[in-house]
Structure 1
Amino acid sequence: MKRILAITMGAVVGLSAGAQAFAADIKIGEINSYSGLPAFTEPYKKGWQMALDEINAAGGINGDKLVVISKDDGGKPGDAITAANELVSKDGVALIAGSFFSNIGLAVSSFAKQKKVFYLAGEPLTDAITWEKGNDYTFRLRPSNYVQAAMLAKEAAKLPAKKWATIAPNYEYGQSAVAVFKELLKKERPDVDFVAEQWPPQGKIDAGSVSQAIEAAKPDAILNVTFGADLVKLVREGTTRGLFKDRSVVSFLTGEPEYLDPLKGDAPEGWIVTGYPWDKVDIAEHKTFLADYQKKYDDYPRLGSVVGYTLMKSIAAILTKAGSTDTDALIKAAEGVKVDTPFGEITYRAADHQSTLGAFVGKTALVDGKGTMVDFKYESGADFLPSEEDAAKLRP
């Protein structure tokens, strides 16, 4: 009888210990457009998974295991909100992270404010997410449209071009990028004029009619904000029609391998771009990241890989500093937190919740029949953001 009692008590103790260990897991809700833009989100998922494995192998968060519950929003804001609701009410996550498209990021940010849930946006680039529609619960990792536009406008201002045309997807990201680039370039060069605009629907560009309309305006230079399959169609159709011949092109994101690689031998040459020359980055932290990534996946990283990796490392740094999953504690910890990344240390600013992660700015080139970046430089976001005092004035 004593032996049976001992076994029973041991089982109860074991069950209790197992329940405590499970309860100690810190659940993270992650949402992204996996089926909507796999070229970016698949490497992004590999990035955060690699960081997650590293974090847990090192003991987790103050001894607690980090668990990610991931959901696909299908590129639809409504589906993202449904996913966020399930993660918070059903799965009991400590915070939400992720998102790609700017309109989805704004929707999740609004949800976070309403439900008082901490949200770390990874990719959405619209300035509104940290400025005019910013809120206490939302932070953002990637350098914003303002930051990337400032980097590109600095280079564009050196060109002799006076007549500019723009091509951008007709939703929040494209609209925001064009508006801020115009503002910043005209500040640098009051003599420039914008003579034509094309706003193709995201993912449904008619590259022939867009090229024809831009050509008719006879601009000296073109600002491009398209990406993904739209970029491939625009480059191939525009090249066939001679749209880019003897014209300068400034282009958001085109130097990122997830968008440059699909062009193969059709990659444009001499475009001024932001991007990620993964095989040429001479930063010590990146060399370690690159080696570890290639060893784990037998593949090279895309920018999405860096974003996913840094997003998860940021979450770990915030949780460790907070020492709690309480939302107010997470907000307080995130304001001013420093995070080690493959590009060096970054800070999440207290005034506007924007990180100081930067971007590579350079030119596209064809090397051995493949697109790449040359003449590039890493620019820190801290050097292009407005002061924290000025940024705070942009928030509601």
Structure 2
Amino acid sequence: MTRIQLSRAVLAALGIVAGMAAAGAPLRAAESIRVGEVNSYSALPAFTEPYRKGWQLALDEVNAAGGVLGRPLEFVSRDDAGKPADALNAVNELVTREEVALVAGTFFSHVGLAVADYAARREVFFLAAEPLTDALVWSKGNDVTFRLRPSNHMQAAMLAEEAAKLPAKRWATIAPNYEYGQSAVAEFRKLLSEKRPDIEWVAEQWPPQGKIDAGPVVQAIAAAEPEAILNVTFGPDLVKLVREGTTRGLFKSRSVVSFLTGEPEYLDPLGAEAPEGWIVTGYPWYAIDTPEHKTFLEAYQARWNDHPRLGSIVGYVTVKSIAAIIAKAGSTDTAALVEAAKGVAVDTPFGPITYRAADHQSTLGAFVGRTAVVDGKGRMVDAVYRNGADYLPAEAEAAKLRPGG
């Protein structure tokens, strides 16, 4: 074939493709809006597997209702193994090879920060589902990153409100030694000390995430003789801490305030060994009787024949948020998505939320209650939902916390 013949063949082929697109032929880009999703599936399955089930359920609902902008929503998912480098490799592949319209997910705070930085450099919209560090939307916030979960500041404010009522003056802290744990402790200490200037911080322990040696940690805290303890450990580390602390009597006659411990993914594994009387944030799925939650619960149980965890809520609302943002934007252009996300309203199993324009933080709240053992199971009792909007600084003040604010 001559060069001219080859050129004519190429042009003919292009003409055929163009004709197919015009006639509505099933080209992938025209069929679906592709979302790149990354999370720590292999590193923390207790949370991320329910999270995956949550977003799959929401995806089914969105697409059954006609999709978004008349197109189905499609998730292209990757495992980041809880490592920033793996997350960056995955996101880069999703953006450059899979040509996703936006990115969502991540669990660990340091991973979320790494992905947020990438998103800013590549001008890709990023909805951070789970990372809790305040830096994500404040000190290291950027134009393209928004966050769903109630932040460390928000949960610390909820817990400090209850902790301030305790008579305890001598406090100790136990937290994993990375961005999330450091940020949670700093916020709680600041907020509680503002409410109770008589508080004294007598000890702190910083075990590595996922590798706690509970014996020495418990021994060091006990030696300081605190009257109350702040715990920020979760997952297998929490189980080890509770068992060792119970064996050694660390929690006897001491108040404990604990981030996340009321979430089923962390409370369920403890069973009858669950601590009693801890003040916690969490998700008492068995005790929420609002119409919104009942609808979600019935759909989730019908789909998975299992009860939801907090991760299920996060995954579900992540998809609902993305659908609402794209619908409001009317396109998948990054600039349009950013503008649409500011102030967008989303219905959730916990009630309506919005994403604030000033700092890109959602107003999703959390339940605060106490731990108990009921029928041999760890349960969260006396739980009250705290609206996230009530525990955030005013938007004008929050804007000042961001770069250039």
Specify if TM > 0.5: yes
Corresponding residue to 2:361 among 319, 334, 354: 354
Matched with 1:117 is: 124
1:202 paired to 2:209: yes
1:16/1:126 CA distance change after superposition, 3 Å: same
1:68 paired to 2:75: yes
Corresponding residue to 1:294 among 294, 301, 304: 301
> Per-residue deviation at 1:62?
1.7
Task: Work out the percentage of aligned pairs sharing the same amino acid.
Answer: 71
Corresponding residue to 1:135 among 122, 142, 148: 142
The one-letter code matched in structure 1 to 2:158 is M
How many Å separate the matches in 1 of 2:20 and 2:226?
76
Corresponding residue to 1:222 among 222, 229, 234: 229
1:253 paired to 2:260: yes
> Per-residue deviation at 1:21?
6.4
1:328/1:245 CA distance change after superposition, 3 Å: same
* Partner-residue secondary structure (3-state), 1:279: helix
* Partner-residue secondary structure (3-state), 1:166: strand
1:265/1:392 CA distance change after superposition, 3 Å: same
Matched with 1:3 is: none
1:96/1:14 CA distance change after superposition, 3 Å: closer
Matched with 2:273 is: 266
Q: Is the 8 A contact 2:345 2:353 kept in 1?
A: yes
Matched with 2:333 is: 326
CA distances 1:328-380 after superposition (whole Å, capped 9, x unpaired): 00000000000000000000000000000000000000000111011110000
Matched with 1:148 is: 155
> Per-residue deviation at 1:22?
4.8
How many Å separate the matches in 2 of 1:76 and 1:155?
34
Matched with 2:37 is: 30
How many Å separate the matches in 2 of 1:22 and 1:58?
20
1:240 paired to 2:247: yes
Q: Which runs of 4+ in 1 moved over 6 A?
A: none
> Per-residue deviation at 1:17?
2.7
How many Å separate the matches in 1 of 2:28 and 2:262?
44
* Partner-residue secondary structure (3-state), 1:46: helix
1:338 paired to 2:345: yes
Corresponding residue to 2:109 among 102, 112, 116: 102
> Per-residue deviation at 1:16?
5.2
Matched with 1:172 is: 179
How many Å separate the matches in 2 of 1:216 and 1:250?
19
* Partner-residue secondary structure (3-state), 1:117: coil
The one-letter code matched in structure 2 to 1:159 is L
Q: Is the 8 A contact 2:21 2:27 kept in 1?
A: no
* Partner-residue secondary structure (3-state), 2:285: coil
Given the two structures, how large is their TM-score scaled by the length of structure 1? 0.96
Matched with 1:183 is: 190
> Per-residue deviation at 1:284?
1.3
CA distances 1:39-60 after superposition (whole Å, capped 9, x unpaired): 0000000000000000001000
Given the two structures, how large is their TM-score scaled by the length of structure 2? 0.94
The one-letter code matched in structure 2 to 1:305 is S
How many Å separate the matches in 2 of 1:325 and 1:356?
24
CA distances 1:19-78 after superposition (whole Å, capped 9, x unpaired): 346524100000000000000000000000000000001000021111100000001000
Corresponding residue to 2:287 among 280, 283, 287: 280
Structure 1: give runs of 5+ residues left out of the alignment: 1-8
Root-mean-square deviation (CA, aligned residues, Å) is 1.2
Matched with 1:303 is: 310
How many Å separate the matches in 2 of 1:232 and 1:18?
54
Corresponding residue to 1:313 among 320, 345, 354: 320
